[in-house]
């Protein structure tokens, strides 16, 4: 039987007590799965990730992680706090928020240092990440000297350096060029192959099929409109359109204007080479 | 015309601020001061600063200042850049103290110059003049030393040096984060200014201008509060518990300058 690592029941959260962000969300996340949370802007995806990372607590409902109820009381226990932080890592949407140290190297090792990881192990993790992400030249640079794509890679590296079992990612590919998007997808697939649970909030439908087993679609009412396997969700154009996730393309064929729905499925044919 | 002047001034200030915070061009050069290990350099400069503020002889201050200029030259710093970077601060520090000190009202003594302005008679005294020159030279030399240290040492090395001198880690960390985010906010202000300009053009009634500036200040304050909260959450998320643990040299942070031990050998 699949091990459930996150169990959310009837989660409600609102900002300043009057701007609802989540309304009655029920969600189970299975260990080792690739889960994506999709929805238009302002549907509560980032709030959900922050709740999963125990940075904010829901005003109503229950969150269980690794079999234990998550609330402020739970985090008063230092041992559990350390355990939870070492198990769950969040890559923030705004990399500037996450990269607060003077150099890239210090940012990458910040997490493991706080968690008391042994220095030899930190060195090993740092070397491994530098190699796999190709960021050797960035190590001594200050985060403000990096491009958006470089910042995102370093932010992912700073989370992976904690070696968490669960990786939460908030819009990991937003605003990046195609090559960097590809690299980030490869990093996530690699992390998943190593047994990590990947939970991604995004509205970039192009990447979904590769990084999701299960997709949860959030609607304007700040709750889950539908959950299902990636292929089924991506094939449901009406659902995607109703939730502002697809749009109509218009383009010209000679003198005729042609309009159709944007298709995000990776429908392609492999040519046989002899 | 005045808008153009304000625009150039504002963009100049932002560019200077960003450059002051982020420029490591000179720290990366191979020069005399860059060769000295950061801790030794901080110690030397601290002693020099104490000497400069203690000296009461202008001629000795001239010698100190000349040494600063020579150090800048031997460290590969463009003299024009160094003087600009130094003297831009002098009026800020000394104008309001040095100029009144020239006059007999504050410093009585032998008359150097007498002049009339708006019906009032002003006397500049020799003693006042000497005091003002001493003060300006002291400020100029002190600022030059600080600028030299700042230009020839990487920020990360400087911050780490503070830790070595026993300054608590939490203070060093807060300082480094301030440094990190000053740049971000300078960029936000610059972009906001360009954004306003793209929408309202250059001709703007001063009252509307005041309104926009007030609104931008409030907006920036709100953004800094928001960023503050988000950064703290990012720290918590990575296991921060209120007592920062930082990278030690054993993890391989290397200085371009030789270590203390190597210096002794050299």
The CA distance from A201 to the nearest CA of chain B, in Å, is 17
- A269 in a structural domain: no
Among A207-211, B103-107, B139-143, whose mean pLDDT is lowest?
Answer: B103-107
Query: A32: helix, coil or strand?
Result: coil
Residue A40 CB coordination number (10 Å): 14
**Backbone dihedral angles phi then psi of residue A66, each to the nearest 5 degrees:** 50, 40
For the packed helices B169-200 and B2-22, what is the interaxial angle rounded to 10 degrees? 150
**Angle CA(B181)–CA(A57)–CA(A161) in degrees, nearest 5?**
50
DSSP label of A115: T
Check whether A66 has a pLDDT greater than 90.
yes
The CA distance from A206 to the nearest CA of chain B, in Å, is 28
DSSP label of A172: T
Would the CB atoms of B239 and A144 count as touching at under 8 Å? no
Q: Which of A94, A114, A145 sits opposite B238 (nearest CB)?
A: A114
The CA distance from A20 to the nearest CA of chain B, in Å, is 18
Chain B residues close to A137, C-beta within 8 Å:
none
Residue pLDDT, tens place only, B172-229: 888 888 888 887 888 888 788 778 777 776 666 777 778 877 888 898 899 889 999 9
DSSP label of A102: S
- A266 in a structural domain: no
Smallest Cα–Cα separation from A58: which of A28, A101, A14?
A14
The CA distance from B107 to the nearest CA of chain A, in Å, is 47
The CA distance from A122 to the nearest CA of chain B, in Å, is 8
Contact A223, A23 (CB under 8 A): yes
Check whether A122 has a pLDDT greater than 90.
yes
More confident residue, B262 or A219: A219
Q: How confident is the model at residue B255 (pLDDT cuts 50, 70, 90)?
A: very low
- A171 in a structural domain: yes
Q: H or E element: which one contains A68?
A: strand A68-69
- A41 in a structural domain: yes
Specify the pLDDT at position A271.
Answer: 47
Would the CB atoms of B237 and A55 count as touching at under 8 Å? yes
Specify the pLDDT at position A248.
Answer: 65
Would the CB atoms of A142 and B235 count as touching at under 8 Å? no
Among A56-65, B86-95, B239-248, whose mean pLDDT is lowest?
Answer: B86-95
Would the CB atoms of B240 and A114 count as touching at under 8 Å? yes
Q: How confident is the model at residue B256 (pLDDT cuts 50, 70, 90)?
A: very low
**Angle CA(A54)–CA(A180)–CA(A228) in degrees, nearest 5?**
50
What is the C-alpha to C-alpha distance for residues B239 and A51, in angstroms, rounded to an integer? 16
CATH of the domain at A55: 3.40.50.300
Mean pLDDT rounded to a whole number for chain A: 89
**How many residue pairs from chains A and B have C-beta atoms closer than 8 A?**
95
Specify the pLDDT at position A64.
Answer: 95
Chain A residues close to B181, C-beta within 8 Å:
100
B62 Cβ partners below 8 Å, 6+ apart?
A: B137
What is the C-alpha to C-alpha distance for residues A257 and B76, in angstroms, rounded to an integer? 63
By C-alpha distance, the chain B residue nearest A94 is: B230
Q: How confident is the model at residue B248 (pLDDT cuts 50, 70, 90)?
A: low
Percent of chain B at pLDDT above 70?
A: 82
Rg (CA), chain A: 20
Q: Is B118 in CB contact (< 8 Å) with chain A?
A: no
Number of domains in chain A: 1
Candidates B247, B256, B257: best to mutate against A (most CBs of A within 10 A) is B247
The separation between CA B135 and the C-alpha centre of its own chain, rounded to angstroms, equals 19
Specify the pLDDT at position B13.
Answer: 67
- A156 in a structural domain: yes
Percent of chain B at pLDDT above 90?
A: 25
CA distances from B96 to A149, A250, B93, B102 (A): 48, 66, 8, 11
β-bridge mates for residue B125, sequence order: B111
Among A26-40, A109-123, B22-36, B124-138, whose mean pLDDT is lowest?
Answer: B22-36
Q: Which of B184, B239, B251 sits opposite A85 (nearest CB)?
A: B239
Residue pLDDT, tens place only, B1-39: 455 666 666 666 666 666 666 567 788 888 899 999 888
Compute the average pLDDT of residues A5-26.
Answer: 93
Chain B residues close to A105, C-beta within 8 Å:
247, 251, 253
- A272 in a structural domain: no
Specify the pLDDT at position A13.
Answer: 95
Would the CB atoms of A113 and B246 count as touching at under 8 Å? yes
Specify the pLDDT at position B257.
Answer: 38
- Predicted-assembly ipTM surpassing the 0.85 threshold: yes
Specify the pLDDT at position A174.
Answer: 87
Residue pLDDT, tens place only, B56-108: 899 999 999 999 999 999 999 989 988 888 887 777 767 777 888 888 888 88
Query: B242: helix, coil or strand?
Result: coil
CA distances from A253 to A172, A249, A256, B107, B238 (A): 35, 13, 5, 87, 52
Specify the pLDDT at position B1.
Answer: 45
**Angle CA(A248)–CA(A270)–CA(A251) in degrees, nearest 5?**
20
By C-alpha distance, the chain B residue nearest A103 is: B156
Would the CB atoms of B233 and A119 count as touching at under 8 Å? no
Contact B21, B179 (CB under 8 A): yes
Q: Which of A85, A92, A162 sits opposite B234 (nearest CB)?
A: A92
Check whether B52 has a pLDDT greater than 80.
yes
DSSP label of A2: P
Check whether A47 has a pLDDT greater than 50.
yes
Would the CB atoms of A92 and B179 count as touching at under 8 Å? no
Residue A181's domain comprises 4-261
B189 Cβ partners below 8 Å, 6+ apart?
A: B14, B216, B220
Q: Which of A82, A102, A126 sits opposite B180 (nearest CB)?
A: A102
By C-alpha distance, the chain B residue nearest A140 is: B253
Specify the pLDDT at position A261.
Answer: 63
- The residue whose two tokens read 């100190």 is B64
Specify the pLDDT at position B8.
Answer: 67
Among A2-6, A222-226, B112-116, B188-192, whose mean pLDDT is lowest?
Answer: B188-192
Q: Which of A78, A103, A111 sits opposite B238 (nearest CB)?
A: A111
Compute the average pLDDT of residues B159-180.
Answer: 83
By C-alpha distance, the chain A residue nearest B244 is: A114
By C-alpha distance, the chain A residue nearest B234 is: A98
Q: Token pair for residue A121?
A: 């192990």
Mean pLDDT rounded to a whole number for chain B: 81
What is the C-alpha to C-alpha distance for residues B108 and B110, in angstroms, rounded to an integer? 7
Q: Token pair for residue B163?
A: 């830790």
Residue A15 CB coordination number (10 Å): 10
Among A159-173, A219-233, A240-254, whose mean pLDDT is lowest?
Answer: A240-254
Query: B243: helix, coil or strand?
Result: coil
Residue A264 CB coordination number (10 Å): 18
What is the C-alpha to C-alpha distance for residues B152 and A110, in angstroms, rounded to an integer? 27
Check whether A49 has a pLDDT greater than 60.
yes
Percent of chain A at pLDDT above 90?
A: 68
- A250 in a structural domain: yes
What is the C-alpha to C-alpha distance for residues B230 and A92, in angstroms, rounded to an integer? 9
Contact A96, A151 (CB under 8 A): yes
Would the CB atoms of A103 and B156 count as touching at under 8 Å? yes
Specify the pLDDT at position B81.
Answer: 87
């Amino acid at each position: 039987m699949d091990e459930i690592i996150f169990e959310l029941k009837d989660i409600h959260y609102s900002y300043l007590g009057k701007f609802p962000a989540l309304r009655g969300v029920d969600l189970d996340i299975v260990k080792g799965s690739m889960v994506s949370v999709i929805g238009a802007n302002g549907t509560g995806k980032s709030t959900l990730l922050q709740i999963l990372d125990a940075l904010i607590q829901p005003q109503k409902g229950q969150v269980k992680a690794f079999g234990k109820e998550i609330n402020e009381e739970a985090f008063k226990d230092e041992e559990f706090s350390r355990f939870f932080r070492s198990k769950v890592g969040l890559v923030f949407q705004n990399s500037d928020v996450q990269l607060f140290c003077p150099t890239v190297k210090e940012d990458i090792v910040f997490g493991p240092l706080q968690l008391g990881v042994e220095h030899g192990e930190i060195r090993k993790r740092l070397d491994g990440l530098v190699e796999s992400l190709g960021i050797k030249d960035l190590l001594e640079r200050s985060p403000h000297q990096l491009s958006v794509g470089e910042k995102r890679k370093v932010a992912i590296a700073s989370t992976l350096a904690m070696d968490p079992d669960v990786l939460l990612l908030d819009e990991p590919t937003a605003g990046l060029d195609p090559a960097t998007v590809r690299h980030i997808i490869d990093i996530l697939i690699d992390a998943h192959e190593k047994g990590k649970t990947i939970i991604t909030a995004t509205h970039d439908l192009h990447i979904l099929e590769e990084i999701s087993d299960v997709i949860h679609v959030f609607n304007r009412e700040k709750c889950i409109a539908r959950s299902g396997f990636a292929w089924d969700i991506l094939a449901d154009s009406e659902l995607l359109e109703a939730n502002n996730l697809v749009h109509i393309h218009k383009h010209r064929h000679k003198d005729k204007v042609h309009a159709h729905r944007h298709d995000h499925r990776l429908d392609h044919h492999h040519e046989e080479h002899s | 015309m005045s808008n153009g002047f304000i625009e150039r001034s504002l963009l100049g200030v932002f560019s200077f601020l960003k450059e002051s915070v982020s420029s490591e061009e000179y720290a990366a050069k191979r020069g005399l001061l860059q060769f000295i290990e950061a801790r030794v350099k901080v110690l030397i400069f601290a002693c020099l600063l104490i000497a400069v503020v203690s000296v009461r002889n202008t001629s000795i201050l001239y010698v100190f200042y000349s040494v600063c200029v020579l150090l800048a030259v031997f460290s590969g710093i463009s003299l024009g850049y160094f003087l600009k970077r130094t003297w831009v601060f002098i009026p800020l520090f000394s104008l309001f103290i040095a100029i009144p000190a020239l006059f007999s009202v504050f410093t009585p003594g032998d008359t150097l110059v007498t002049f009339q302005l708006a019906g009032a008679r002003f006397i500049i005294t020799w003693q006042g003049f000497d005091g003002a020159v001493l003060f300006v030279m002291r400020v100029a030399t002190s600022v030059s030393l600080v600028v030299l240290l700042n230009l020839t040492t990487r920020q990360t090395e400087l911050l780490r040096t503070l830790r070595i001198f026993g300054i608590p880690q939490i203070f060093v960390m807060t300082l480094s984060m301030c440094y990190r985010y000053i740049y971000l906010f300078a960029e936000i202000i610059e972009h906001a200014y360009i954004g306003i300009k793209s929408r309202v053009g250059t001709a703007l009634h001063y009252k509307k201008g005041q309104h926009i500036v007030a609104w931008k200040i409030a907006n920036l304050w709100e953004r800094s509060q928001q960023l503050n909260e988000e950064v703290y959450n990012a720290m918590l998320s990575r296991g921060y518990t209120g007592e920062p643990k930082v990278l030690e040299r054993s993890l391989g942070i290397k200085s371009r300058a030789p270590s203390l031990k190597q210096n002794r050998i050299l």
